[in-house]
Amino acid sequence: MTARINYADVEVGTELPAQSFPVTRATLVRYAGASGDFNPIHWNEKFAKEVGLPDVIAHGMFTMAEAIRVVTDWTGDPGAVVEYGVRFTKPVVVPNDDAGAVIEVSGKVAAKLDDKRVRVDLTAMSAGQKVLGMSRAVVQLG
The fourth-level CATH superfamily of domain 7-21+59-140 is: Hotdog Thioesterase (3.10.129.10)
pLDDT attached to residue 78: 95
Domain boundaries along the sequence of the chain: 7-21+59-140
pLDDT digit string, tens, across residues 48-98: 999 999 999 999 999 999 999 999 999 999 999 999 999 999 999 999 998
Look over the chain and give the mean of its residue pLDDT values, rounded to a whole number: 96
Q: CA end-to-end span of the chain, whole Å? A: 9
Q: Is 142's pLDDT higher than 70?
A: yes
